[in-house]
Amino acid sequence: MKKIKIAYINIMEGYSGGEIVLQRLIRGINRDKFSIYVYSTPTKFIDTLKCNECNTTIINTQYQLKMERGIKAFVKVIKLFVMSGKYIYEMKQKQILIIHSNSLTSNIYFSFWAKIFGIKFIAHSHEIREGIIFTLLHKYICFCSDKIICVSDAVKNNWLSHNVNKKKLTVVYNGVSNDFF
């Protein structure tokens, strides 16, 4: 049986709940059914992944804007958007069929290109965001994604309050095992 190629994207600089959940997803996936590709910044996430079977690509780019504003931030966003397209094109060339993204930032940059290149996209959402900008971002991400995993009913309700397609939303709780403590 041919394995399904799945890519996980982590562009966050830190190492917290979202990254730990992503690691557990990667460690727990059925290796008989899936070939695993990981695209990540060089952080503790990669250092502690423990996945010898993973095909890893290091993204040496800072995606967070931090305190950048104005024209400088706009130019950086355009550059990052183009770079994201190059990574998704590379995934298409590798015949990756599913991409799982674990943050709002990576959902914004990578979901569009996955839609353009016909790769299934799973957006993972951990946060509750309000305001017109986040309403528009949620609509955009929902349009470009095939599925959105919300980590709680509150997160799902936040998405629903932005009038997105409820059929794309699924709640999967983050559960913390005893080894976390």
In sequence order, what DSSP letters do the residues of 127-150 get, joined into one string? Answer: ----SHHHHHHHHHHHHH-SEEEE
Q: Return the pLDDT at 16.
A: 81
- C-alpha 58 chain-centroid distance: 15
Q: Which pLDDT value is given to residue 177?
A: 53
| pLDDT value of position 176 | 54
Identify the pLDDT of residue 120: 98
Map out the domains of the chain as residue ranges: 4-180
* Residue 178 pLDDT: 52
65's CB contacts (< 8 A; 6+ apart) are 73, 76, 77
Determine the pLDDT at residue 181: 46
- The reported pLDDT for the residue numbered 85 is 96
Instruction: Dump the DSSP string for 109-122.
Output: HHHHHHHHHT-EEE
- Plot region of 155 (φ>0 → left; ψ -120 to 50 → alpha; else → beta): alpha
Q: Which residue stretches of the chain have pLDDT < 70?
A: 175-181
4-180: which CATH architecture? 3-Layer(aba) Sandwich (3.40)
Q: Which two tokens stand for residue 121?
A: 């996209």
**pTM, rounded to two decimals:** 0.91
Question: What is the number of other CB atoms lying within 10 angstroms of the CB of residue 90?
Answer: 14
